[in-house]
Amino acid sequence: MTGQYIPGQVEGGTEGFPPGVQAPVPPPPLWIGSIMSAAAHAGTEGAFAGAGGASSAAESFGLTTGEPVIVILVDGLGYNQLLGHLGHAQTLRGLTNRPVAAQTCAPSTTAAALTSLATGKLPGETRMVGYSVRHGSGVMNLLQFAEGVDGATWQPEETVFEAMASQGFESVVVTDQRFIGTGLTHAAMRGARFVGAKELGSRFRCAGAEVRKHVPLTYVYWSGIDKVGHKYGPNSREWAEALEDFDAELGAFLSTVDGTAQVILTADHGMVEVDLRVDIARIAELSRGVEVLAGEGRAAHVHAERGEERAVEERWRNFWEDRAWIFNREEIPAIVGSGPGCDLIGDLLVMPKGNAVVVDSRSQTASSIAMPGVHGSLTKVEMEIPVWRLV
């Protein structure tokens, strides 16, 4: 642990959710799960029969039925961070409109959020309930999955791309070639045609080519800003420079598609900068009775030893007091949604309110523990995402 935990050191409200953030279940009308169906509705001239509310969501996001739609998702580009750094984004700063503030899912993390984006379903339904989950006697990363685990089987919900294909509409996912065939791709993006490109400019050029083919929906994914945020922190000079680089490429791209496509920019989550690491390996009252810690630092899955469930919950609540949201098995469905994913979380879901993380130095690497930029909890900075109609 970095320093000693002192009650009151981590800021956070005493009850409820942060101002501007609704309780995750049911999701608000404008949330990450309504973006892709709205884009599909608009790109198919209203012909796509997607989830209910697609038409009203499209209108709220500034989309009209007619032209193809390109959805650009920038991993880690939360609403508050984007607006706070517009001075580093000449292209975006120059637009006459401003983004709509939508809400991501809980936990506010990539595996969960990208799957909600693609399915319109909550993590409890999709089983994509965090960065990692308990699997057998160990822990499985939900970005890559374990050997022998098929993402398409693990995540049972139909994607928007599959629904479009069944109705005769084409969709395209433009991402890094390395991501094609991964567990998360099989779980969240199946049903689309995949196009691999490494550099951001190449991905934009690929998206432009798909528009010229009149593909109704093209999805472009970029992880560069998230990577920098994890490595240097979201308040760092490096983060601002990464935004500048993205914005420059974006400006060049928009000039090539204006008038031929609708382009919206969004994200999967925001990010906070760590100021306290609570290492359960060094705190007996937290480690006692805990069999496995999974999830991630901002949304920890606590699996208690059999017979220790109530004692573990009592100790964790006493330790954190009002500095974290702590949900037991009965309460977890109200946060992630009802479904098979709830059982994967275990006995407690612990989500710090301030900028703290829960770690375990017995099982986690030093580099993962030391990351300055993190996400996953229910704070407004992590939960709010932009949806911005660019052209």
Tokens of 230: 């994890």
CA distance 179 to 175: 7
CA distance 46 to 8: 52
What is the pLDDT, as a whole number, of residue 316?
98
For residue 138, the cross-strand partners are: 135
CA distance 355 to 374: 9
What is the pLDDT, as a whole number, of residue 56?
94
Nearest to 57 by CA among 389, 391, 390: 389
CA distance 176 to 385: 22
State pTM to two decimals: 0.95
Q: Is 150 exposed, middle or buried (0-12, 13-18, 19+ CB in 10 A)?
A: exposed
Task: Write out the H or E segment, with its range, that includes residue 74.
Answer: strand 69-74
Tens place of pLDDT for every residue, the chain, 391 residues? 333 333 332 233 335 789 889 999 999 999 999 999 999 999 999 999 776 689 999 999 999 998 999 999 999 999 999 999 999 999 999 999 999 999 999 999 999 999 999 999 999 999 999 999 999 989 999 999 999 999 999 999 999 999 999 999 999 999 999 999 899 999 999 999 999 999 999 999 999 999 999 999 999 999 999 999 999 999 999 999 999 999 999 999 999 998 899 999 999 999 999 999 999 999 999 999 999 999 999 999 999 999 999 999 999 999 999 999 999 999 999 999 999 999 999 999 999 999 999 999 999 999 999 999 999 999 999 999 999 999 9
Query: Residue 219, Cβ neighbours under 10 Å: how many?
Result: 26
- Residue found by looking up tokens 């934009």 in the block: 204
100-103 and 384-389: which strand pairing?
antiparallel
CA distance 294 to 133: 5
**What domains are there in the chain, each with its CATH number?**
32-272+380-389 (3.40.720.10), 273-374 (3.30.1360.180)
